[in-house]
Amino acid sequence: MSTAEHVSWSLVVPVKPLARAKSRMSPHAGPHRESLALAVATDTVAAALRCDRVRTVIVVTDDPLPAADLAALGARVVPDVPDAGLNPALVYGAGRSREFAADMGVGALSADLPALRPLELARVLDAAAASPEAFVPDAAGTGTTLYTARPGVPFAPAFGPDSRAAHRARGARELLLPGTDSVRRDVDTLDDLRTALALGTGPRTAAVATRLPALA
């Protein structure tokens, strides 16, 4: 196996159609809900692209608006051809990634990490390179924000309810590194958003947040 510092990564980021995104934020975001969802995804992808361990970001989406914005950042955008749920979409994106470069590790990254720090992501990816499969649990302790498979290892994500337990049960190594809070801080609720803003989000999320009455 290549040493960690010699592993490059392709990250697959699933982006829901904006009409269905951030539904739990509807009472707080109101007419800004879709703008918030787009801002969060854009800040996440922008940070991932700035990570020097990441060679490419594959965005899987059927929504033309985020597709255009994320492609403009430098992501490769592919449609959700399987149209069979999150994990099949991620597997499809990973397959497309390995068509471009079979020597890369592949990761599935949540699109809900607006405070993501490129250096913290690099630390996690270096640690992930030491195991065939690895994952990062979310800050709540039940979900997953990142799942990785080393080069040549089958890509088999288990996102969904209690995905932390599902990934552990399948033998993936859990990564809980100090100083990597931004990789775990996904945003689903207003409290999540407040915490991410305190940690320091990307500029797009911060700008939309100023328009939310609940955060005034």
Is 142 assigned to a binding site?
Answer: no
Instruction: Please give the C-alpha separations between residue 69 and each of 59, 63, 65, in angstroms, as whole numbers.
Output: 11, 11, 6
Is 141 assigned to a binding site?
Answer: no
Please state the φ and ψ torsions of residue 108, each to the nearest 5 degrees.
-105, 120
Look-up: residue for tokens 């020597």?
103
* Tokens standing for residue 16: 């829901």
Is 85 assigned to a binding site?
Answer: no
**C-alpha–C-alpha distance, residues 62 and 45, integer Å:** 16
Residues flagged as binding site:
144, 160, 163
Residues flagged as binding site for phosphoenolpyruvate:
144, 160, 163
